[in-house]
């Protein structure tokens, strides 16, 4: 029951030259579903990644960071769903390494050129033998026009696969940015979302790619929350295959390409919220007039994480008091609440910290009855701002998480 999120049209997903994807049904947790993905990169491709800051980060996260540090010339990413290989200690690292080793042998590259990613149940041993048994099927399936199947293969509690393409012209050539992501619960990325893979066929120097990734993460996956829980497995990878032969190196080219990457990342991040566990509303929270972007984000997250606010969204209840109380709890010690304005879409509902005299409740109810709306807060103490995306808290969220074993 995702909020205004249609499954991507497979025909709309442009292949990225130099990037091939293959999927398999490895039976990792359940039989009969695609649960293993291999992404093969051409020689000369570069990769950058940002990862969860959860102290209990998973074995594949530890290993992916280590391999990325040892060998920036990544040749393959191996992604499994059904098991997160998190909270599994040294044995988990051994198992993730076994997967990389097997893939590296099949692909004829060094083990450090393979990055592992896992998502699914936490604290259970990775069924490495099933993954190894599934690898040949995934490798045999490798092709450039396989992004849709790849988006399906990384889903867990997602109800809709998430994939986006943007094309741009650079130096007379057509370039492609295509990405996929997964995630629906345990979503409050601290560096990246659960799993997102975005690739372009442009050639980008490593330092520029790293900067492009940081910027895109900061404006996409780091601006969403479903339930405030940061996963142990979050990773956002940006790949530049260089296979188009077009280099993005000037400031203007990097800005254009970076803009397309950011757009893809934002759409994927918003898709995760639209498909948030139990979500019935997609809510944009915009906080303006703060002293710093950080305090705007803090106020925004205080709203987005309040169970009382989220249940009011679910009920289409314009409960101004809960929103203002959440702002009051954001930890902005010197906040002067008598200067705070609050809008629901274009309706000024509270001004100077109290209910606006002209506001009628039917107006607020009409906004919140929509499947998408914006909560806009003006703090009136500076010029910084921040935008976040979140969803409501419904019966369904409790049902999903009382029944599903992450």
Tell me how far apart the alpha carbons of residues 276 and 206 are, in angstroms, rounded to a whole number: 33
Least Å distance, CB 346 to a copy of itself, is: 20
Beta partners for residue 370, in sequence order: none
Least Å distance, CB 224 to a copy of itself, is: 15
Q: Footprint of a copy of itself on this chain (CB under 8 A)?
A: 54-57, 84, 86-89, 91-92, 121-124, 185-186, 190, 227-232, 305-308, 311-312, 314-315, 317, 319-322, 324-330, 332-333, 335, 337-338, 350, 352-355, 393-395, 397-399, 401-403, 405-406
* Interstrand relation of 372-378 and 341-344 (parallel, antiparallel or unpaired): antiparallel
Give the nearer residue to a copy of itself in terms of CB position, either 147 or 343. 343
Least Å distance, CB 406 to a copy of itself, is: 6
**Would you say 121 and 28 are in contact if contact means Cβ atoms under 8 Å apart?**
no
Least Å distance, CB 290 to a copy of itself, is: 14
Least Å distance, CB 120 to a copy of itself, is: 10
**Would you say 340 and 352 are in contact if contact means Cβ atoms under 8 Å apart?**
yes
The verdict on whether 52 is a catalytic residue reads no
Give the nearer residue to a copy of itself in terms of CB position, either 117 or 147. 117
Least Å distance, CB 367 to a copy of itself, is: 16
What's the token pair of residue 124? 């259970």
Least Å distance, CB 193 to a copy of itself, is: 15
Give the nearer residue to a copy of itself in terms of CB position, either 91 or 174. 91
**Would you say 284 and 403 are in contact if contact means Cβ atoms under 8 Å apart?**
no
- Give the count of beta carbons closer than 10 Å to the beta carbon of residue 86: 26
Task: State the SS3 of the chain.
Answer: CCCCCCCCCHHHCCCCCCEEEEEECCCCCCCCCCCEEEEEECCCCEEEEEECCCCCCCHHHHHHHHHHHHCCCCCEEEEEEEECCCCCHHHHHHHHHHHHHHHHHHHCCCHHHEEEEEEEECCCCCCHHHHHHHHHHHHHCCECCCHHHHHHHCCCCCCCCEEEEEEEEECCEEEEEEEEEECCCCCCCCCCCCEEEEEECCECCHHHHHHHHHHHHHCCHHHEECCCCCCCCCEEEEEECCCCCCECCCHHHHHHHHHHHHHHHHHHHHHHHHCCCCCCCEEEEEEEEECCHHHHHHHHHHHHHCHHHHHHHHCCCCCHHHHHHHHHCCCCCCCCHHHCEEEECCEEEEECCEECCCCCHHHHHHHHCCCEEEEEEECCCCCEEEEEEEECCCHHHHHHHHHCCC
Give the nearer residue to a copy of itself in terms of CB position, either 42 or 308. 308
Give the nearer residue to a copy of itself in terms of CB position, either 373 or 397. 397
Which one of 74, 119, 176, 193 is the catalytic residue? 193
Give the nearer residue to a copy of itself in terms of CB position, either 41 or 312. 312
Least Å distance, CB 240 to a copy of itself, is: 31
Give the nearer residue to a copy of itself in terms of CB position, either 153 or 368. 368
* Interstrand relation of 173-182 and 162-170 (parallel, antiparallel or unpaired): antiparallel
- Give the count of beta carbons closer than 10 Å to the beta carbon of residue 262: 20
Give the nearer residue to a copy of itself in terms of CB position, either 1 or 252. 1
- What residues are annotated to the active site? 193
């Amino acid at each position: 029951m995702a909020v205004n999120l249609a499954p991507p049209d497979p025909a709309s997903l442009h292949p990225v030259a130099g990037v091939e994807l293959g999927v398999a049904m490895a039976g990792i947790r359940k039989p009969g579903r695609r649960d293993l993905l291999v992404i093969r990169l051409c020689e000369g491709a570069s990769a950058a990644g940002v990862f969860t800051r959860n102290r209990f980060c998973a074995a594949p996260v530890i290993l992916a960071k280590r391999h990325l540090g040892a060998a920036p010339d990544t040749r393959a990413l191996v992604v499994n769903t059904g098991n997160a290989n998190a909270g599994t200690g040294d044995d988990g690292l051994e198992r993730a390494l076994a997967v990389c080793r097997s893939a590296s042998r099949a692909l004829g590259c060094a083990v450090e050129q393979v990055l592992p990613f896992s998502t699914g149940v936490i604290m259970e041993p990775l069924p490495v033998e099933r993954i190894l048994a599934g690898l040949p099927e995934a490798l045999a399936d490798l092709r450039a026009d396989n992004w849709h199947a790849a988006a399906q293969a990384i889903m867990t509690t997602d109800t809709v696969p998430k994939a986006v393409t943007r094309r741009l012209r650079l130096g007379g050539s057509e370039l492609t940015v295509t990405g996929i992501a997964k995630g629906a619960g345990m979503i409050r990325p601290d560096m990246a979302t659960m799993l997102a893979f975005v690739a372009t066929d442009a050639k980008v120097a490593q330092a520029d790619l790293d900067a492009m990734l940081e910027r895109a993460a900061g404006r996409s996956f780091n601006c969403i929350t479903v339930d405030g829980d940061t996963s142990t497995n979050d990773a956002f990878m940006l790949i530049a295959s260089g296979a188009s032969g077009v280099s993005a190196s000037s400031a203007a080219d990097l800005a254009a390409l970076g803009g397309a990457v950011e757009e893809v990342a934002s759409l994927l991040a918003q898709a995760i919220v639209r498909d948030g566990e139990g979500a019935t509303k997609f809510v944009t929270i915009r906080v303006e007039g703060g002293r710093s972007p950080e305090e705007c984000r803090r106020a925004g997250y205080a709203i987005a994480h309040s169970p009382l606010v989220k249940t009011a969204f679910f009920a289409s209840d314009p409960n101004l008091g809960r929103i203002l109380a959440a702002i009051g709890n954001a930890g902005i010690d010197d906040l002067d609440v008598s200067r705070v304005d609050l809008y629901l879409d274009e309706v000024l509902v509270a001004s100077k910290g109290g209910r606006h005299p002209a506001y009628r409740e039917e107006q607020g109810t009409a906004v919140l009855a929509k499947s998408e709306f914006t909560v806009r807060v003006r703090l009136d103490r500076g010029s910084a701002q921040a935008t976040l995306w979140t969803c409501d808290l419904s019966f369904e969220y409790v049902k999903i998480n009382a029944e599903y074993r992450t």
